[in-house]
Amino acid sequence: MMQNAKMTSRERVLTSIRHKEPDRVPVDLGSTPSSGISAIAYHNLKHHLGISQGHTRVYDVVQQLAQPEEMILDRFGVDVLDIGRAFNARDEDWYDITLPQGITVQFPSWFQPMTRPNGAWDAFAADGTRIATMPVGATFFDQTYFPYLDGYPADYRNLPEEMLKIHWAGLVHSPWDHAGEPDFWQQLRQRAMALRNSSDRALVIVAGCNLFEWGTFLRRIDNFLMDLVLNPVEVERLLDALLEIHLDTLDKVCAAVGDVADVLRFGDDLGMDTGPFMSPKIYRKLFKPRHAILCNYVKTHSQMHTFLHSCGSIYRLLPDLIEAGYDIINPVQINTRDMEPERLKKEFGQDITFWGGGADTRHILNRATPSEVKEHVRRLLDILTPGGGFVFNTVHNMLPDVPPENIVAMFEAIDEFNHA
């Protein structure tokens, strides 16, 4: 299908982001915590492939995501790496633990959840606050502590400390689990440069810098959604405090890896199945100007492309997200209202790169037969690849219910498409 001369993985990804067709479809697996695979699904995949060496390492402990190993990346032609994988690289950085499902995986040495008598797992902040629980039968951790549940504080001097009691920050994935170390920023640069020198894959740095989501983490989502309408003054006060923290982070990220990483990944889940959490009018007033500031900072101070992870039906917000400065959108949730791939490609395919949308993980990848998966993936490739502006990834992470046969079929479909 693709006609160009052979490219390196980095060239392939960057060519597509620039809305030109690369030599083959660029592929991601595991470069972000929204484009990966659960530890259970990864374990099952390795077993299916007859791979007994290596380890199933859970690098994102909240979502229980595995860090794909080099042999898997090579096998499936993956073109992107998370800079975070350059940390926790020693065997002593991990320990064996058996999940409730009976599967042995490895957790980072710093993550030591406690087991309740009923089998649930709890995780705690440094001060003893219980910040997350994985209930019996669940396969990821839920947030249990909301610092501003009863209202907004008079000032935000303690905001950084409160943020560390949110499980997304208190149990954060690499490289940020090392952020408290005195030489972290020097380490980040050195490790990122070593990774770039040892691989031709594109590099992603995950920076978060969420705004809407931090409001839901701090206030709880029901309260914060009401606040958007009933208490916008307090919302803006919180957003400005968050923006100040995020710009400080971006300043350090850009200085450390702005000339090393190819993509900086932001996050802010703005959509439900039926549409955005808020009207475009509210988005434009409260969030768009601040998103634009974050994007502009990255573009002004680095070579990195801006990537927004935003779940759900965000069709109505896409024009504003593009204007705010995002180059890439993920996970491209094609199974929600108004997010038909044909529509997205036709209306926005020249203006933003779709990083995802390559396989429906809700209805197809987990339930269909391998032949049905192949047909599904080939159809989406036909729609999304013309003219570039596409990096293959599933619609969000592959969860434990995805059969390994279907994962193999998905990658086979990509290979067959490339050689058609």
pLDDT reading at 215 higher than 70: yes
Cβ–Cβ under 8 Å, residues 143 and 154: no
Closest among 60, 255, 21 to 168, alpha carbons compared: 60
pLDDT reading at 313 higher than 60: yes
- Cα radius of gyration rounded to whole Å, the chain: 21
* For range 270-286, the mean pLDDT: 98
* DSSP helix/strand/coil, 189: helix
Cβ–Cβ under 8 Å, residues 200 and 9: yes
Cβ–Cβ under 8 Å, residues 359 and 377: yes
* For range 235-259, the mean pLDDT: 98
> What pLDDT is attached to residue 304?
98
pLDDT reading at 3 higher than 60: no
> What pLDDT is attached to residue 5?
85
Average pLDDT over all residues of the chain:
97
pLDDT reading at 195 higher than 50: yes
Q: For residues 95 and 292, what is the distance between their CA atoms, to the nearest angstrom?
A: 41
For residue range 395-419, what is the model confidence (pLDDT) as tens digits?
Answer: 999 999 999 999 999 999 999 999 9
For residue range 368-380, what is the model confidence (pLDDT) as tens digits?
Answer: 999 999 999 999 9
β-strands 121-124, 130-134 pairing: antiparallel
- pLDDT band at residue 1, thresholds of 50, 70 and 90? very low
Closest among 281, 273, 85, 102 to 94, alpha carbons compared: 85
* For range 6-18, the mean pLDDT: 98
* For range 130-157, the mean pLDDT: 97
> What pLDDT is attached to residue 4?
60
Q: For residues 411 and 399, what is the distance between their CA atoms, to the nearest angstrom?
A: 16
- Residue 202's DSSP bridge partners are 80
pLDDT reading at 2 higher than 60: no
- C-alpha pair distances (Å), 196 with each of 57, 311, 420: 22, 29, 31
